[in-house]
Structure 1
């Protein structure tokens, strides 16, 4: 698959097969996140892979959706604010930006491997910190559900037109 096809085929999967994700594929997905660019190459991310039933239950308590419980794997993407680059002019912390790039790389790699993902940001942060023993300076940024989609039908994507979002030379 070429990159454009991968981008077009990626969507937020909300129904998973019970089939386990192969270790080799999981490693490739994690490596895609590892290879992502970051501000000043500080790489302020950590990935917690959740596959065991006990921890699976904890994740389902952090985000309450029935479909979410079906995913065989979760990756909790965390950011280290102490390790992140901060812009000098206004102090903007790039942890979230860097983590988002890593997540995007992982979602695209998963798509190429025939897997589906859903990028979740609306979850109970404090429960996540507690359940997965995160140090105070480590923030849980997103949870990526991962597995084989139940349906291979790619939903239509609603996107703004380029005329609505592209500005040439000035806003």
Structure 2
């Protein structure tokens, strides 16, 4: 699994520790089907939610979750980033410019570099109703980040409907939005 690209634009898929994370391979397949070279970046907590060997086989790339060491090859530069599922913590930290993980470091610089970012949150209604979360979504949107939550997008789930909401997670919607931005 080398770091050199042979063809195609590079899409970073940042996956967070939330219910749908185990199905991120669906997004990878959809993206690859339209020509993206996919690099998975997992938050440290997400590593327990995903099948790392299966995703590495599917993408042909090492799943990244930490900054590289000086002797390790540089990963390809992202042409676009999708964060799915995006958690309450990741959304709030991204809006505040916190870069305490590799995934957040990538996100922190993306708007400043002009890299399109699409986020598909997976949060419950209680968290989505909080002022810090609503403020974070508004601030990210003001910076040009597409946050797919709310009316006409993916709605927050109740604490009782988590499993049903996982099955309905609209992975493909992120690519539709990205196609209109990239």
Greater helix fraction, Structure 1 or Structure 2: 2
TM range (shorter): under 0.3
Greater length-normalized contact order (CA 8 Å, ≥ 6 residues apart): 1
With normalisation by structure 2, the TM-score equals 0.23
With normalisation by structure 1, the TM-score equals 0.24
Compare CA radii of gyration and give the structure with the larger one.
1
